Structure 1
């Protein structure tokens, strides 16, 4: 009983204290029954508090939005009004004027606030729910306000039906979407006719509270900034309730979308005028592609590139069968000498049985096919005699084809000293060199030298690719966990997710680089095997005729093409400016290896070693990284890079002109001045090597022009600028090679010519799709999305995917051009093949 008395006493004391507190507080609480769609003009002070009571019917199968709109009517007030909305399962509160912060903690105030209430789900078919709007303030003077609560029309979005609405920073909007039956993935598209003000689109699960203000919209769900366009692909598996909210918020400032950065003095407690930041937007939710489209896209991609393998196998079988038949036919005549037979076999390399598709894939048997004839033996004797004459042509005949600047190389042009056969300095200073002069080193030594290219690039690929793969997996994980869609620059209107990957189609389309790179390796391997067999037979043609065959650089080129596909796929896992170098690093290597291969064809003994070549390529990649990090708007960087670019061009020009017979030491300037004095001032003699001088002058003009362009324009995409330098130099050297080949009296076979034309056409179409520019990390993510476009191929691939398809085929074709362009010299003695 004592305990009972104590408890009663405590309860009475608590009640007495509560009554005293109520009576001591002079504030009055007024509760009003309120109706939807009615505007309530009222006042509030620290002495009175108003509670508005609303009720509405909530159905399980129907969702209605409820929106609370408040406007502050008093012009000045030191104390804001606090609105607290109490619902069944949620509480929402905000003050008026609403204070939102921008960049550098700048504060903007809004006197008009509109908020949509979240709708907690109900378990019964229908029920009546109450919610209350509490209005209070600490202002001692009356503050006037207007309150209106209304129902939101079209709160639930319909599939493929556009809905328009207005939003401001203090009046965000959100709507509900429910997945229909049979639809597992949808694309939410939000569009606006004007760029600014900058907005944020967010996809959030059905829960309370809804984060719909600029300072909290990034807390949950997926979100992205937008100007004119915004698009997010949403999958049913990510939302257990089979529904989600589409939230649109207008930001207080435009810097996040690339707008101008306004300067304001940072004064304490200064409130800035928000201005008119109303924006009209349209939202539409459309079903995404289904699994059948995924399967069709993958089969299409595999089918294109597997067809190259199938056709290669078929052509190889046909050519081998034809070769065996022709060998039997050539052995039948009894009056034909072995020399004539060998001549005829070597002659018929100009057959015209090639069509454009078989051209690309028949190279695996090109060594055999190039010696075959599709005509009867009796019809080939005349052309055999002609070609045999081509094999035995004199240096005088070739000299007449080379015009005056390439006069014939007769016996008098050679130094007759005995050490000409051993001293490379004497050999390389001849006015006109032949391939035999620069193919004196042991073949086994050179093979090992050039095989190092393949092994080094394989090692580089492993050590480069593994960290890249780890990094892009981290990028994708961050995107999936944070929901920040501004990290990666996708074409959001054609980004099809698969598993954890956000844009599977952009990754899949890189398969062509890998598959065609592997096919090129197989073709090179087949040629390598045939050549080694010929050497084992002591075939005089393989030993002493044609361009010396070293396949190490070809193996490196095929490996680089495969790695380009892998690293391009890694880049497209999350494309942005920090990992764009992944997509371009092996592009630099491909361009460098192609130039080295062109140079190696006529200079096998003096081509750069693998260590030197890869060291130079590493320096290029190093500058690429520096350009991405420091190049944007940095004058000092561009000056330093331009100077290094020009100096490197001059050093390389000297190396090529003198074929490596010069030294970079303290006496270089003295020797340069002496050469200028003796050759230009004293006797005004022209350059000794006119052709090389023409090439180097043109190369310097191009490179100096590119350096000036970079210094003046300072392009933001430094990696692409650097790649353009490499490609321009490669094209210039390739054009020079073709021109000099024709001037030397050599021919371009039909096979190589069709490869050149086909590759040029494919490159043209590829570049057209490349320059469509579906996204660009040189701008803000919101500005990049303005370039997004829908898929154009099978509803699965976009323009950039087609660029991947075509560029992989074009690169493969370019490699085939390098592989076959000198097949016409396979039966020409090396002392009759000019160096240029």
Structure 2
């Protein structure tokens, strides 16, 4: 039948099924029919093309030939019901090995039209072309309101090839098209034979986890969750258009919430990619000719899918209560210990002079100077006299033997000392560290002693040092504000991009244990960081309590607070507690969307914690020569700077590793020199000449041993460890540079801490019960924490698909995974480590500082 001017005249000759599909008066549809030259009717001629319609049946293979002069329409009908969804799958094979023009298949159904050519040309990276002669597609199922309805669809086959092309066509029903809860279904897919299935939320289930697994790592595939609509995007070049999707090798999992799908159902789509680069596979060769077709080979993959209900709201509540309960118990335990300590302190005598106290110690205790008068300030005990000379032992002895009204002197001294101290605090500046003209020469003389005591390195005004160390806290508080605000803004943007685009490859979650809450995709990984914040705040409260007790002791001129024990400076402790809280906040921000671009958020304050702990250990015995806050934070900023460079440029870059290793070794040598000579050296143009002179005099001329044996042993071991780490980095060039840098900091901290404990015991000092319990408890907790840390549930060093191979189910309360337990245990271990630093030298609180050794 030749096309005429009247649409009605053509329409009245149309077959019955076509009449149901064609709507009279539709100009757009008329254009489509004219353009494709398709009119239903057996033996109808359109122009020079013979159009043949055949009534076809399901599960029958049709072997036919198509040319440019004839085209065939296969008409199918099937009955669908509202309560049962049945899938329909169309499979096509082209039998010729060579062909000039492809065959076009157009499938017309209610509310949808699907078309594809065979061979199907799919493009990969760099526009590589892969032909597929076998194509199988599943038809989407438009919803129906009727209890039962008969629907028609047509498969139109045409080509522009003048030669006959033989093809096979088969349409079959998919009996297992609807997935059942907790039932595994196995299927096969390839790039030209994608699969998708329907899932309907059962009553009472608001969240499910869709898991797709395979025993084959490759070929690379994509799993997607899409709303019920037509068309379904089930090819490699369009699967990312809508819904949520992720690449996978062996494992894939997506958590789906009912609120995101108004129809209470969704499609699970699985597509095999044409290439494997997205999953970490090898890059195929680039064709010599741009239009060259590449043989894709066998890319069939066997997979299985199972949909399981996720946890309910009760599990969320239990997880949050468990998290709060663990860390609130530390508050209760601390309160209990504080109450016991207060009762013990009340029983202690307020003032007692030991019977074996020396005359000089008695004079100091009674608050007298060498001339028998009380000093103007409590900080002049054991320090320089006003004329710049040290106290005369004879004068001290004389004044100590004159016992007339000693306690009267002391009472009058208390008031004058308190007034002098309060008046002087307001005028103290940080640049007034050395108040005497000869302090520079004097400190060099003092530090050349073979055996130093804390009193030798605690000669500066304590008021000034306290203000100096308070700068650590204020600086880190300022850094925290300016660092955290842009980080929070950035991770919110990351999470928004994930939610809008549906790209699950942006963030490296443990998808088998990622529980969403609101806009957050993995709320459990964020909640588990609460311990850092709560325990960091608790540590600040403990330090504040000690600080208040110490200040009250100074006000009442307590002798132990003035002249005994390690000098109390709490600024670094406040900085450590603040850093622990910030570690929790930034770790939570990192776990909003963990990936390689924001991993430094999780490690920046780890570097600071390690650095502050080493500074605090050094400050205990070297309060006068410890680094200033500005110098310390500048060094930590340089470490973070290298961390960023390592993440961006360090992967496989030999030049970067050479530069970093050289800087690492030079920094180790400079720090070793600083520690060995206690700051009595200068980095200037004459440093090489002085090094050569020392080597000549001490090693060649007389071969004398090192003057400071203990320090030399520590520094030799430290250099061996750091040089070994530098060599390892240069040879292996690990991809995770941030963790490598953190390992360097932790190794040095542990080495120095071990040295401090050993030297403390060697010096005849003891470790009290509380710090000993903290040490043992912390060591055990650190051991368990590291076990869970090295489980490696995900890694951004690999592709997202390879990272998902390490995903595992929750192991605690069906809510927390191994990494969450690492957060719990590491926060407790850090808190315990801080308590060890805080209480480790409590045994020295009643020991004179000139009897406490420096090491």
Same fold (TM over 0.5): yes
Task: Show CA shifts across 1:231-285 (max 9, x none).
Answer: 0000000000000000000011111111111223341210011111111101000
Which of 698, 702, 709 is 1:690 aligned to?
709
Which of 195, 201, 222 is 2:223 aligned to?
201
TM-superposed deviation, 1:117 = 0.1
1:30 matched to which residue of 2?
52
How far, CA to CA, are the matches of 1:420 and 1:138 in structure 2?
99
Residue 151 (structure 1) aligned with residue 173 (structure 2): yes
Residue 119 (structure 1) aligned with residue 141 (structure 2): yes
| Contact 1:420–1:426, Cα closer than 8 Å, also in 2 | no
Which of 523, 529, 537 is 1:504 aligned to?
523
> SS of the counterpart of 1:271?
coil
> SS of the counterpart of 2:835?
helix
1:339 matched to which residue of 2?
353
1:767 matched to which residue of 2?
786
2:232 matched to which residue of 1?
210
1:598 matched to which residue of 2?
617
How far, CA to CA, are the matches of 2:77 and 2:487 in structure 1?
58
Residue 164 (structure 1) aligned with residue 195 (structure 2): no
How far, CA to CA, are the matches of 2:237 and 2:771 in structure 1?
63
TM-superposed deviation, 1:317 = 2.9
How far, CA to CA, are the matches of 1:24 and 1:319 in structure 2?
102
Which of 296, 320, 323 is 1:298 aligned to?
320
> SS of the counterpart of 2:294?
strand
Could you list the structure 1 runs, at least 4 aligned residues long, displaced by more than 4 angstroms after superposition: 9-15, 21-24, 340-343, 418-422
Alignment of 1:345-424 (within 5 A): 423-424=442-443
Cα distance, 1:429–1:27 mapped onto 2, change above 3 Å:
same
How far, CA to CA, are the matches of 2:519 and 2:211 in structure 1?
21
Which of 156, 176, 190 is 2:198 aligned to?
176
Task: Show CA shifts across 1:359-409 (max 9, x none).
Answer: xxxxxxxxxxxxxxxxxxxxxxxxxxxxxxxxxxxxxxxxxxxxxxxxxxx
Which of 687, 700, 710 is 1:668 aligned to?
687
How far, CA to CA, are the matches of 1:421 and 1:663 in structure 2?
14
TM-superposed deviation, 1:692 = 0.9
Which of 448, 459, 465 is 2:478 aligned to?
459
2:97 matched to which residue of 1?
75
| Contact 2:279–2:799, Cα closer than 8 Å, also in 1 | yes
Residue 573 (structure 1) aligned with residue 587 (structure 2): no
Residue 786 (structure 1) aligned with residue 786 (structure 2): no
Which of 731, 734, 741 is 1:722 aligned to?
741
1:188 matched to which residue of 2?
210
TM-score computed with the length of structure 1 as normaliser: 0.87
2:639 matched to which residue of 1?
620
How far, CA to CA, are the matches of 2:827 and 2:8 in structure 1?
86
| Contact 1:106–1:266, Cα closer than 8 Å, also in 2 | no
2:250 matched to which residue of 1?
228
> SS of the counterpart of 2:188?
strand
| Contact 1:490–1:775, Cα closer than 8 Å, also in 2 | yes
1:140 matched to which residue of 2?
162
How far, CA to CA, are the matches of 1:90 and 1:507 in structure 2?
43
Residue 274 (structure 1) aligned with residue 288 (structure 2): no
Cα distance, 1:823–1:12 mapped onto 2, change above 3 Å:
closer
1:513 matched to which residue of 2?
532
Residue 427 (structure 1) aligned with residue 446 (structure 2): yes
TM-superposed deviation, 1:422 = 6.8
1:402 matched to which residue of 2?
none
Aligned residues: CA RMSD: 2.0
Which of 565, 572, 575 is 1:556 aligned to?
575
Task: Show CA shifts across 1:596-619 (max 9, x none).
Answer: 000000000000000000000000
> SS of the counterpart of 2:666?
helix
How far, CA to CA, are the matches of 1:577 and 1:275 in structure 2?
34
| Contact 2:128–2:287, Cα closer than 8 Å, also in 1 | no
TM-superposed deviation, 1:168 = 0.5
TM-superposed deviation, 1:657 = 0.8
TM-superposed deviation, 1:320 = 2.5
Cα distance, 1:545–1:264 mapped onto 2, change above 3 Å:
same
How far, CA to CA, are the matches of 1:276 and 1:420 in structure 2?
82
How far, CA to CA, are the matches of 1:620 and 1:24 in structure 2?
77
| Contact 1:83–1:135, Cα closer than 8 Å, also in 2 | yes
Residue 245 (structure 1) aligned with residue 298 (structure 2): no
1:353 matched to which residue of 2?
none
TM-superposed deviation, 1:338 = 3.8
Cα distance, 1:529–1:341 mapped onto 2, change above 3 Å:
farther
| Contact 1:420–1:427, Cα closer than 8 Å, also in 2 | no
Structure with greater contact order relative to length (CA < 8 Å, sep ≥ 6): 1
How far, CA to CA, are the matches of 2:244 and 2:54 in structure 1?
39
Which of 654, 658, 669 is 2:677 aligned to?
658
2:542 matched to which residue of 1?
523
How far, CA to CA, are the matches of 1:342 and 1:549 in structure 2?
26
Residue 478 (structure 1) aligned with residue 500 (structure 2): no
Which of 131, 146, 150 is 1:128 aligned to?
150
How far, CA to CA, are the matches of 1:649 and 1:49 in structure 2?
81
| Contact 2:249–2:801, Cα closer than 8 Å, also in 1 | yes
> SS of the counterpart of 1:636?
helix
1:544 matched to which residue of 2?
563
Task: Show CA shifts across 1:117-153 (max 9, x none).
Answer: 0000001111100000000000001010000000002
| Contact 1:545–1:829, Cα closer than 8 Å, also in 2 | yes
Which residues of structure 1 form unaligned runs of 5+?
1-8, 332-336, 344-417
TM-superposed deviation, 1:194 = 1.2
1:401 matched to which residue of 2?
none
Which residues of structure 2 form unaligned runs of 5+?
11-29, 38-43, 358-436
> SS of the counterpart of 2:115?
strand
Task: Show CA shifts across 1:582-634 (max 9, x none).
Answer: 00000000000000000000000000000000000000000000000000000
Alignment of 1:304-319 (within 5 A): 304-319=326-341
1:700 matched to which residue of 2?
719
| Contact 1:775–1:787, Cα closer than 8 Å, also in 2 | yes
Which of 464, 469, 490 is 1:450 aligned to?
469
| Contact 2:62–2:169, Cα closer than 8 Å, also in 1 | yes
How far, CA to CA, are the matches of 1:14 and 1:236 in structure 2?
50
314-323 or 44-53, larger mean C-alpha shift: 314-323
Task: Show CA shifts across 1:616-669 (max 9, x none).
Answer: 000000000000000000000000000000000011111111111111111111
Which of 55, 61, 79 is 2:77 aligned to?
55
| Contact 1:434–1:831, Cα closer than 8 Å, also in 2 | yes
2:554 matched to which residue of 1?
535
Cα distance, 1:141–1:734 mapped onto 2, change above 3 Å:
same
| Contact 1:32–1:53, Cα closer than 8 Å, also in 2 | yes
TM-superposed deviation, 1:420 = 8.4
> SS of the counterpart of 1:730?
helix
> SS of the counterpart of 2:283?
coil
How far, CA to CA, are the matches of 1:786 and 1:517 in structure 2?
35
TM-superposed deviation, 1:426 = 1.0
How far, CA to CA, are the matches of 1:195 and 1:679 in structure 2?
63
| Contact 2:45–2:51, Cα closer than 8 Å, also in 1 | no
How far, CA to CA, are the matches of 1:257 and 1:743 in structure 2?
56
1:84 matched to which residue of 2?
106
TM-superposed deviation, 1:419 = 6.5
> SS of the counterpart of 1:339?
coil
